[in-house]
Amino acid sequence: MRLSPRIAPQLVGLTVPFPGALYGAFRIARRMQSLHPRVATVLGGGYVNSELRDLGEARVFDTFD
């Protein structure tokens, strides 16, 4: 995945509205990090805001900023 020279995002936001989308969000974020390490990745959405509010696993921040 190549980014156009005209398009240089600094941030990529991924929405996880339900649990089934969480794995895909991790895969996308890791791929973005491997291709464009300077682009920050953030995680949000209904599932994240409600069910992952009390996050006990710090390794999530290895993938998301």
pTM higher than 0.85 for the full model? no
| pLDDT exceeds 70 at position 46 | yes
Is residue 53 scored above 80 in pLDDT?
no
Q: At 38, is the secondary structure helix, strand, or coil?
A: coil
- φ/ψ bin of 42: left (φ > 0), alpha (ψ from -120 to 50), beta (otherwise): beta
Residue 41 CB neighbours (<10 A) = 20
List pLDDT tens digits, range 5-35: 677 788 999 999 999 999 999 999 999 888 8
Q: How wide is the angle at C-alpha 59 spanned by C-alphas 11 and 37, nearest 5°? A: 35
Q: What is the pLDDT of residue 50?
A: 87
| Selected residue with higher pLDDT from 1 and 63 | 63
pLDDT of residue 45: 93
Helices marked H in 1-65 — which ranges?
A: 22-35, 46-51, 60-63
43 and 64 in contact (C-beta within 8 Å)?
Answer: yes
